[in-house]
C-alpha cells in the first residue's frame, strides 16, 4: 500500500504555502515586535542631538555676556582723536631762524636716522689700491712687450734689442732678459710702444694661399685675406699647405698661440679627405692602429668613411707633423685629391664661406683661453 500522507518531514527543506490572510497577519506581527523592542542606535542618535543643543545654548549665553554694551561703544567713539590727525596751523608749521623762515623740527620719534657709513669701506679701498699696485708692479720681458705691441715677433724683437734699436725710459737697452713694467716708456724708432688689445680671427682658407706672413717670391699669402680684419698685427697659429683648405686661426696673443701649437696639448683637428679611389675598412683599421712613417709611428684618433662610394673619408687627429694626413694616405697607396680642415680646437666653420673670416665671440675666446691638455 502506498502511503498517501502528505505531512512534511521536519528535516526536509519543504515549507508549506500560506494563505493570503495568514501572510498579512505575519507582517503585522513583525512590525509590532520591532516597535516593542528598543533600537539602541536610534536612542544614541537622539541623546547626541540633545547634548549638542545644550552645548549651543551654553555658548550663546557666554557670547551674550561678553558682548560690549551700548555705553562702552559710545565711550570708544567719543574718545579724542590722536594728535597727529589735528590740522596744524601755518604758525605751528614754520618758525623763524634769523632772517629765514624754516620748517619746525618734528619730534625725535620721527627724525630721520643719521647715515651710517657702509661696512668694510676702508678694506675695499685698500684692496683696490693693492690691486692697482700689483698691476703697476707687474713685469714683462722686453721681447714679449715688443711683440705684444704689434711691431714684430719675439725672435725679431731679440734682434732689435741686440742691435740697440730699443730704448727704455730714454736709455738704450741691449739686455735680452730685461723686464719692464707697464709704467715704463719703451720706444722703437722714436715711437712709444703700447700693449695691444688681443684679437682672434678665424679664416676659412681657400686653395693657392701660403700660410706665412711674408713670401719673398711674391705669392699670395693668407695675410692678404685678413688684412682688413683688424688694425693690430696678427699672425697665423699653425700652418696649412697651399692646396689644403679649411680653418686657420690668427691672433696677436702669443701665449695662446704657443699653447695651441704645442704638441703636448694635443689640439683636436678634423679633416675631410677626398681620395682618388674608394677606401675600405681594412685601411681604417690600419689608420687607427698606427703607421710607421719616416719620422716615427703616426696614428689617428678616429676615422670613418663618409660617402657610400668610399671616396670621402673623415679623419680626427691631434698630431702636428708636417703634411701628416697626405703622408699617411700615401703610405697606404692612396692619393689625396682634396683636403679640408672642418674643426680646429673646437671651432667650426659654420656660416663661414670659403675665403671669409670672422672675429671670435667672447664664449669661444674663454674656451680657448682655458683650453686644457687632451684627456684632462
Domain chopping of the chain, boundaries = 137-192, 200-369
Between 10 and 222, the higher pLDDT residue: 222
**What is the C-alpha separation between 41 and 43, in angstroms, rounded?**
5
- Walk across the sheet containing 186-188 and list its strands: 171-172, 166-168, 186-188, 191-192
Q: What is the pLDDT of residue 366?
A: 84
241 in active site: yes
Phi and psi dihedrals of 340, rounded to 5? -130, 125
How large a percentage of the chain has pLDDT more than 70?
A: 68
List, in sequence order, the alpha helices (H) in 293-361. 324-331
Q: Stretch 270-280: mean pLDDT, rounded?
A: 94
Residues of the chain by 3-state class (helix, strand, coil), percent to 5: 35, 20, 45
State the pLDDT at residue 1: 46
* pLDDT above 70: residue 244: yes
Looking at the predicted structure, is the pLDDT value of residue 83 above 70? no
Give pLDDT, residue 192: 82
51-55, 114-118, 230-234: segment of lowest average pLDDT: 114-118
CB 126 within 8 A of CB 116: no
Mean pLDDT for all residues in the chain: 77
Close Cβ partners of 304 (under 8 Å, ≥ 6 residues apart): 284, 313, 314
Q: 71 pLDDT exceeds 50?
A: no
In order, the DSSP letters of 201-261 are EEEEE-SS-BSSS--TT---BGGGTSTTT-SS--EEES---TT-EEEEEEES-HHHHHHHH
Report how far residue 248's alpha carbon sits from residue 211's, in angstroms, rounded to the nearest whole number. Answer: 9
Q: 48, 241, 295, 309: which one is catalytic?
A: 241
Mean pLDDT lowest among 86-100, 146-160, 179-193, 249-263:
86-100
339 burial type by CB count under 10 A (0-12 exposed, 13-18 middle, 19+ buried): buried
Mean pLDDT of 130-138: 54
State the pLDDT at residue 90: 52
pTM given for the model: 0.54
pLDDT in tens, 4-48: 555 555 555 555 555 555 555 555 566 566 556 666 666 677 778
Average pLDDT over residues 360-372: 82
* 150 contacts 196 by C-beta, under 8 angstroms: yes
Torsion sign (Cα): 121, 127, 132, 137: positive
74 pLDDT band, cuts 50/70/90, is very low
Q: 323, 359, 134, 310: which is closest to 239 by C-alpha?
A: 323
369 vs 219, more confident: 219
Three-state SS at 82: coil
In this predicted structure, what is the pLDDT of residue 38? 61
Which pLDDT score is estimated for 132? 46
- What is d(CA 341, CA 84) in angstroms, rounded to the nearest whole number? 82
Instruction: Using pLDDT thresholds of 50, 70 and 90, give the confidence band for residue 153.
Output: confident
The answer to whether domain 200-369 has CATH 3.30.2350.10 is yes
Label residue 365 left, alpha or beta by phi (over 0 means left) and psi (-120 to 50 means alpha): alpha
Query: What pLDDT is stored for residue 72 in this prediction?
Result: 47
- What band does 216 get if pLDDT is binned at 50, 70 and 90? confident
Q: Is the pLDDT of residue 330 over 70?
A: yes
| CATH (residue range 137-192) | 3.10.290.10
> Do 200-369 and 137-192 have the same topology in CATH?
no
Question: Which pLDDT value is given to residue 155?
Answer: 85
Amino acid at each position: 500500500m502506498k502511503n498517501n500522507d502528505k505531512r512534511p518531514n521536519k528535516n526536509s527543506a519543504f515549507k508549506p504555502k500560506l494563505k493570503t490572510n495568514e501572510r498579512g497577519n505575519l507582517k503585522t506581527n513583525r512590525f509590532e515586535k520591532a516597535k516593542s523592542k528598543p533600537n539602541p542606535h536610534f536612542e544614541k542618535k537622539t541623546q547626541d542631538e540633545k547634548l549638542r543643543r545644550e552645548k549651543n545654548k551654553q555658548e550663546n549665553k557666554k557670547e551674550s555676556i561678553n558682548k560690549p554694551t551700548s555705553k562702552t561703544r559710545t565711550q570708544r567713539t567719543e574718545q579724542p582723536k590722536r594728535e597727529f590727525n589735528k590740522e596744524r596751523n601755518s604758525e605751528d608749521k614754520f618758525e623763524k631762524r634769523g632772517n629765514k623762515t624754516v620748517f619746525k623740527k618734528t619730534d625725535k620719534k620721527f627724525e630721520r636716522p643719521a647715515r651710517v657709513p657702509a661696512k668694510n669701506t676702508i678694506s675695499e679701498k685698500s684692496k683696490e689700491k693693492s690691486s692697482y699696485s700689483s698691476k703697476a708692479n707687474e713685469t714683462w720681458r722686453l721681447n714679449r712687450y715688443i711683440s705684444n705691441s704689434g711691431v714684430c715677433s719675439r725672435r725679431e724683437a731679440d734682434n732689435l734689442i741686440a742691435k740697440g734699436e730699443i730704448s727704455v725710459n730714454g736709455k738704450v737697452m741691449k739686455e735680452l732678459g730685461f723686464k719692464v713694467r707697464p709704467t715704463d716708456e719703451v720706444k722703437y724708432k722714436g715711437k712709444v710702444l703700447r700693449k695691444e688689445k688681443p684679437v682672434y680671427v678665424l679664416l676659412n682658407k681657400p686653395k693657392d694661399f701660403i700660410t706665412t706672413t711674408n713670401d719673398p717670391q711674391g705669392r699670395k699669402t693668407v695675410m692678404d685675406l685678413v688684412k682688413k680684419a683688424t688694425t693690430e698685427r696678427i699672425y697665423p697659429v699653425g700652418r696649412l699647405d697651399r692646396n689644403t683648405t679649411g680653418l686657420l686661426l690668427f691672433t696677436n696673443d702669443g701665449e695662446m698661440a704657443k699653447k695651441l701649437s704645442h704638441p703636448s696639448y694635443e689640439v683636436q683637428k678634423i679633416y675631410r679627405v677626398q681620395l682618388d679611389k674608394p677606401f675600405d675598412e681594412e685601411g681604417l683599421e690600419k689608420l687607427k692602429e698606427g703607421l710607421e712613417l719616416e719620422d716615427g709611428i703616426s696614428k689617428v684618433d678616429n676615422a670613418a668613411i663618409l660617402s657610400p662610394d668610399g671616396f670621402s673619408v673623415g679623419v680626427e687627429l691631434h698630431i702636428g707633423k708636417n703634411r701628416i694626413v697626405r703622408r699617411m694616405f700615401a703610405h697606404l697607396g692612396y692619393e689625396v685629391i682634396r683636403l679640408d680642415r672642418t674643426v680646429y680646437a673646437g671651432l667650426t666653420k659654420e656660416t663661414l664661406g670659403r675665403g671669409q673670416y670672422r672675429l671670435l665671440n667672447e664664449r669661444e675666446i674663454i674656451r680657448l683661453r682655458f683650453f686644457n691638455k687632451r684627456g684632462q
